């Protein structure tokens, strides 16, 4: 290859990188609340949390190739959507020590692995409760105001993109497994209504603190999570649990009816439903379309049970991680998060224009 040709290619790559890095952010900041699907490392810090991902093989495909608290082999939804919206490449956890002023100004993550809208869920997992995360947000607001002043801080928060992603833990770590809850809420529909009431209050609290632009996540097909398939002991052929999937669909239908009502009652708010169920079901039903060869177990260990501390340095690891829908028995791989991020990015851009 000639020197001139090499220089041309180098200039092209450099120019492309400059253009992408200078692309105008669609929002001034990103603020993230919820559970392990969006936790970028807050659970590294509270000593009592059970679910952590600060050990190998988590983070094996992250740019640093090291564990950082994200429950996947690489980037998770938080990072992928922040990148697509031109805000930043990685969203730091709020509890990370020594956060720079710039990281604060462009947004952070308050989510905690194992958390749920139901406080009982977080008591079981020792996670930072979803209901506690607004208190972390208040500390963030105080820090932001000290950096940019009160007026600009509130302008950033009013225009920030707010991701709320929780709910699955309330069912897979709580309602399905704790018999006492069945006495309080005899039907799954009753418990869903309770969880949605908590979600409603949570969004309203964030609104009272200045948030206006929300992406609120529905449930995935819970019956297709490897750990749930394993829980059905006779499920040798690893079929999705249809009843749990029907539960997810019913919850999502209720959520889709609830969100416009919340939006209508909160002046100036914009709330978008995040449909993760359909993209995940499409990956499960049409895996080759996405380059997946395995959708019924995780990449880590047997893939049937391993997650958090059970997925560790001693666990055998699949070699073709991009071909697995799940990295551990609960959490999607970076490849799966990327596809979900691509679908939602299109929805978000349409939502902004609308």
Tokens, residue 105: 């100004």
CA distances from 10 to 4, 72, 99, 233 (A): 10, 33, 33, 56
CA 261 to chain centre: 24
Q: For tokens 């492309």, name the residue.
A: 16
For residue 161, the cross-strand partners are: 30, 213
Complete DSSP assignment for 92-115 = -BTTSTT--HHHHHH--B---TT-
Q: Answer whether 249's CB lies under 8 Å from 277's CB.
A: yes
Instruction: For the chain, list the strands marked E by DSSP.
Output: 30-34, 161-165, 213-217, 270-274, 294-298, 324-326
DSSP state of 333: P
Residue 217: phi and psi, rounded to 5, are -85, 140
Active site residues per annotation:
36, 328, 331
């Amino acid at each position: 290859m000639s020197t001139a040709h090499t220089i041309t290619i180098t200039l092209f790559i450099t120019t492309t990188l400059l253009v992408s890095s200078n692309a105008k952010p669609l929002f001034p900041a990103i603020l993230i609340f919820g559970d392990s699907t969006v936790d970028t490392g807050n659970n590294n810090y509270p000593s009592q949390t059970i679910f952590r991902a600060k050990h190998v093989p988590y983070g094996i495909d992250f740019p640093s190739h090291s564990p950082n608290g994200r429950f996947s082999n690489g980037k998770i939804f938080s990072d992928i959507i922040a990148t697509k919206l031109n805000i930043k490449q990685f969203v730091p956890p709020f509890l990370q020590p020594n956060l720079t002023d710039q990281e604060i100004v462009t947004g952070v993550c308050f989510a905690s692995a194992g958390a749920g809208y139901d406080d009982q869920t977080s008591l079981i997992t020792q996670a930072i409760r979803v209901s506690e995360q607004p208190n972390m947000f208040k500390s963030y607001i105080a820090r932001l105001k000290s950096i940019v002043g009160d007026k600009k801080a509130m302008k950033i928060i009013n225009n920030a993109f707010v991701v709320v992603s929780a709910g699955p833990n309330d069912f897979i770590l709580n309602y399905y497994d704790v018999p006492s809850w069945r006495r309080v809420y005899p039907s799954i529909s009753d418990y869903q209504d309770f969880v949605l009431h908590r979600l409603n209050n949570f969004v309203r609290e964030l609104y009272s603190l200045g948030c206006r632009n929300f992406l609120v996540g529905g449930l995935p097909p819970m019956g297709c999570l490897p750990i749930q398939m394993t829980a059905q002991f006779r499920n040798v052929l690893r079929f999705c649990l249809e009843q749990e999937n029907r539960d997810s669909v019913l919850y999502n239908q209720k959520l889709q009816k609830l969100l416009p009502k919340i939006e209508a009652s909160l002046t100036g708010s914009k709330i978008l439903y995040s449909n993760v169920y359909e993209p995940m079901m499409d990956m499960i039903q049409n895996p080759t379309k996405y380059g997946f060869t395995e959708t019924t177990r995780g990449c880590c260990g047997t893939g049937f049970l391993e997650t958090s501390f059970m997925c560790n340095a001693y666990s055998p690891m699949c070699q073709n991680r991009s071909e697995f829908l799940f990295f551990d028995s609960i959490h999607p791989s970076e490849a799966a998060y990327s596809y979900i991020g691509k679908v939602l990015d299109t929805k978000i851009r349409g939502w902004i224009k609308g």
